[in-house]
Chain A
Amino acid sequence: MKAVLELRDVHKSFMGKKALQGVDLSVGAGSVIGLLGPNGSGKTTLIKIIAGLIKQNAGEVKICGLNPGEETKALVSYLPDTQHLYKWMRVEDAICFYDDFFEDFDRLRCEELLDYMGIDRADKVKDLSKGMYEKTSLALTLARQSRLYVLDEPLGGIDPVARDTIIDTILSNYREDSSFIISTHLVSDVERLFDTVAFIKEGKIILDGEAEELRIERSMSIENIYKEVFRNA
């Protein structure tokens, strides 16, 4: 299975503070990987490097064999954990924005997803509730036919009903030629999605492997492994 993403000994520090310390990670086509760790563990830094927003100090990052940059941005569909859409936009403007800039954007698929989630295209982005905003962002992100989806805390601050909708949407979007990296600290809600998990602590991957193998090996759920690994974090 050819890797969609390869990270080799990736280091990143901010003003002397180490955020990533020698991260190695490989993501094959068609896999869903859970990047698990508490706040401040380096998940967002790693994801931003993959999205091409920040640059590693050392190590190698390859996305479909390419260094992060203009070309890889066309291959990676990124959902940040912040409110990244312009406040002047209506939902319709955001759809047009994605449609204009991403060749792999499927407008019809986006509209289907928005209808499924009950989002009105005429709504102003700044007036959306946190849950509605997350759903809109997710619909825009998943409506791209990308090689790699990178979702940073897609469930953060979302009520349980909305969480189910979001998880169902992610599931319905699965394709064999695309891969997902989902970062979260809310493990129980999404652990059924993961093929592989990587536990990240203080900028290092301290445990990774096939989700099912880890469950059998340790006789516990991924959520309980998470609690065990990060008990003192």
Chain B
Amino acid sequence: MLKLLKYELKSRKNLLLGGSLTIIILNILIMLDWKLGGNEIFGYDDTFGAILSIVLFGIWVAILVIIIIDSINILRKDLYEDTGQLLFTVPKSSYSILLSKMLTTVIELLLFGLLFTTLMISIIVAEGTNFESVKVMLQVLGENIGIVLQALFAILIDIMNFLVTIYFSLVLTKSLLKDKKYSGITAFGIFLLLSIFMGKINSWLFRYMPYSSDLGMSLRYGEFVLELPISAGESIAIILFNLCLFIILFFLTGYLLEHKTDI
């Protein structure tokens, strides 16, 4: 599986390296601009800095969109294009292939998430802000580590569920239709129906089993005190439901790929 992951990541090295480098360079430019004369980092009286900031924001959005599109294409191409005849003839199970593709997207998101966090911290440091806000945040996070981990786990399950729903829709379509012509719209229809179904169950669970954990935070920023009640987001019931759904869809997709799909 690790070997599969290696080649999936290798195929995305342009996005990973190019995207990261562009973002880092733009951040450095913004910080330099601020150091050399701008009044504040996202200061609107500094036109150059403002333009850089807008471009940087645009690139972040573009990268997010590319990752989402990529997460679909990562399997779609191997199902419908000739490269499938390489990938699906390697002696690896369809489950390994699926998992490697999902993990590739998760790693991409993690890498850019880490980069975003690192750059935000470096901007705060460059700005010379007192670190009280960061300290408070870290302290609150440390005191509520269980809830934080629960929230992170819920996010991870949500991402994996999103991906497995896409893959299930693509593989089911491929096993039902030989013709590529209507495959896109059919897969989208299946994805939409599944998402509506999952959304309905989630809201039902939220209504009848509303337990969720809250983080109460007070962040001081200069003279401002910001009360920030952060919900861990999803109740345990929803997380468990989504986890079960992920497992079922994952094995169903793997089974379809192994036994019912013609490449």
Q: Which residues on A are within 8 Å of B, measured CB to CB?
A: 14-15, 48, 51-55, 69-71, 73-74, 76, 78, 80, 82-86, 88, 93, 97, 100-102
Chain B residues contacting A102 (CB-CB under 8 Å) are 90-91
B82-125 interface bits toward A, Cβ cutoff 8 Å, 1 = contact, 0 = none = 11111011111100000000000000000000000000000000
16 additional A-B residue pairs with CB within 8 Å, beyond A78-B89, A100-B7: A14-B178, A14-B262, A70-B91, A73-B89, A73-B90, A73-B91, A74-B91, A78-B85, A80-B82, A84-B84, A86-B11, A93-B10, A97-B7, A97-B86, A100-B6, A102-B90
Among B85, B92, B177, chain A packs the most CB atoms within 10 A around the CB of: B85
Q: Which residues of B contact A82 (CB under 8 A)?
A: 82, 85
CB contacts under 8 Å to A, within B231-263, are 258-260, 262-263
Which residues from A are CB-within-8-Å of B7?
A: 86, 97, 100
Given A70-B93, A101-B91, the answer on whether A53 and B86 have CB atoms closer than 8 Å is: no
Cβ of A86 and Cβ of B89 under 8 Å apart? no
Q: Is A48 a contact of B3 with CB atoms below 8 Å?
A: no
Q: Which 5 A-B pairs have the closest CB atoms?
A: A54-B262, A82-B82, A74-B91, A73-B91, A84-B85
Determine if B263 and A71 form an interchain contact, defined as CB atoms under 8 angstroms apart.
no
Bound CA–CA A82/B92 (angstroms): 21
Please measure, in the bound complex, the distance between the C-alpha atom of A53 and the C-alpha atom of B7, giving whole angstroms: 20
**Bound: A93/B3 CA distance, A:** 13
A55 touches B90 (CB 8 A): no
Interface mask (B122-149 → A, CB under 8 Å = 1, otherwise 0) = 0000000000000000000000000000
Q: Is the CB of A54 within 8 A of B178?
A: no
Which residues from chain B contact A76 at a C-beta distance below 8 Å?
89
Q: Is the beta-carbon distance between B90 and A85 smaller than 8 angstroms?
A: no
Interchain CB contact under 8 A, B3 and A85: no
Nearest Cβ on chain A to B2's Cβ, whole angstroms = 10
Residues of A within 8 A of B45 (CB): none
B interface with A by C-beta (< 8 Å):
3, 6-7, 10-11, 14, 82-86, 88-93, 177-179, 258-260, 262-263
Pick the contact of A86 from B86, B91, B177, B260 — CB < 8 Å?
A: B86
* B179 touching A55, Cβ below 8 Å: no
The residue of chain A having its C-beta at the shortest distance from the C-beta of B88 within the complex is A53
| B179 with A15: CB separation less than 8 A | yes
What residues of B have a CB within 8 angstroms of the CB of A78 in the complex?
A: 85, 89
Neighbouring A residues of B177 by C-beta, 8 Å: 15
Whole-angstrom distance from the CB of B254 to the nearest CB of chain A? 12
A151, B77: Cα distance in complex, Å: 23
User: Is B89 a contact of A53 with CB atoms below 8 Å?
Assistant: yes
Contact A83 B91 (CB under 8 A): no
Given contacts A83-B82, A84-B83, A100-B3, contact A52 B11 (CB under 8 A): no
A contact residues around B11 at 8 Å (CB): 86, 88
Given A53-B263, A86-B11, A100-B3, verify A70-B178 contact (CB < 8 Å): no
Residues of B within 8 A of A70 (CB): 91-93
From residue B88, how far is it (CB to closest CB) to chain A in Å? 6
